[in-house]
Structure 1
Amino acid sequence: MVNKMAKVKVTQIRSIIKRPKNQKATIAALGLGKINKSVEVENTPQMQGMIRKISHLVTVQDA
């Protein structure tokens, strides 16, 4: 049995220029880095925490 997790689409909408290192690292860990780039990630508590840290730089949609 495979447990299907819900996925969310995360899109970077703001630049990471002049942002703290931890925010730049979080963007990189999610696989983002350029404005308007999108990735689909599983909606786990760990991902929710990462998204919350950079919520002012990204938009989130259900995938």
Structure 2
Amino acid sequence: MPDYKEMYFQLAAKVANAVDILIEAQQQGEYDYSEEESTVISLKKNSRPEEKGSDQA
């Protein structure tokens, strides 16, 4: 007769591992997105044209 308790625990452990992988993938995606957004914002800030005559005294 199969040991259903052992089979259940093995399944539960593998499901927990799968959930951990999915959470890690989500967090990495969020990090990558936030890094990309900050780069775009940074580039936009650096590409502003300088005002003429603002630093002339």
Q: Where on the TM-score scale, by shorter chain, does this alignment land: which range?
A: under 0.3
Q: Which has the higher contact order (CA 8 A, sep 6+)?
A: 1
Structure ID, larger Rg: 2
Q: Which has the higher helix share?
A: 2
TM-score by length of 2: 0.22
